Chain A
């Protein structure tokens, strides 16, 4: 017998160059919450397109998505 799936199917995505899994239906906002990142400090790019903060909650992640989550650090 196959084991029962107890949670939603996971999607494989890549965040800042690292593979990650998120639940199917997860949004950018869900991902950031899971990562513990606060809104005023980061910006998100998905497959080379900026995801505006106002669209985080409505943007669902898809298999194979490549995300960049960036912030400001010291620099000259």
Chain B
């Protein structure tokens, strides 16, 4: 186990040998401005943030940059391949990300066409293979497909991240049974990535046994993003505690909590 100074016995989790206390990973996109991005991320308690790789605006090179508001020495940057629809583009993007930041830990996503932007699993598997071979530590966005998830794990991906529902849809976890099945078969962390719309859905992901949750729009598109960031922080903690506590069995009939003896007559 890596020694990074965290107290033993706390409920931290580990991905690719790195330990984190927060089980919430947040995106940095879709905020009104960089100030709001910084405040919401701080309120979420997240230690890992996803970032996109894009062309520098050459007409205004002095424009404020994300790093000035979300410092990479404070947050672990997880570069993504958002917008990539081929394995080649995804690999190219992450090689640039590694050069820009020196980070090997990345989020791979290769997307199919609109309107669903559903993971293109053929291209995702192809890109994952190339990236693992090239020394990347790949957290992979994928379909809620246990066969594909197992292949990605066997290939060497460090985290499996099935969608709850389409990116940015806020529809929650449309197939909780498959998420739970992937959790049960996996030996690397499983995270729900995409689709979470509100706090109860983040808690549900954790109750299903996920190691962590990744979300962006649920916070950024809330009426009050900073307040929703706080809600998500608590939801993930609550869901994790409920998972560890173990829920009571479901029953089709009532089972009263108060004793039936000693009733007045």
Binding site for B on A (CB under 8 A): 15-18, 35-37, 40-45, 48, 50, 52-53, 68-76
Contact = CB atoms under 8 A, between A and B. Distances in A.
B118 to A, nearest CB: 16
B97 interface: yes
A72 B55 contact: no
Interface stretch (B5-13, B23-31, B121-129, B202-210): B23-31
B77 A17 contact: no
A74 B53 contact: no
A75 B101 CA distance: 15
Given A42-B100, A43-B97, A52-B99, A70 B216 contact: no
A69 B167 contact: no
Given A15-B58, A41-B65, A53-B99, A75 B92 contact: no
Most buried by B among A18, A50, A70: A70
B104 interface: no
A18 B58 CA distance: 9
Interface of B: 27-31, 34, 37, 50-56, 58, 61-62, 65-67, 77, 79-80, 82, 92, 95-97, 99-101, 167-168, 215-217, 220
Contacts of A35: 56, 58, 61
Report which residue of A42, A52, A73, A74 has the largest number of chain B beta carbons within 10 angstroms of its beta carbon.
Answer: A74
B54 to A, nearest CB: 5
Given A41-B67, A41-B100, A48-B92, A70 B58 contact: no
Contact of B55 (A53, A68, A75): A68
B40 to A, nearest CB: 11
Given A15-B58, A37-B61, A73-B54, 13 more contacts: A16-B55, A40-B67, A43-B99, A50-B96, A68-B55, A71-B53, A73-B29, A75-B51, A75-B52, A76-B29, A76-B50, A76-B80, A76-B220
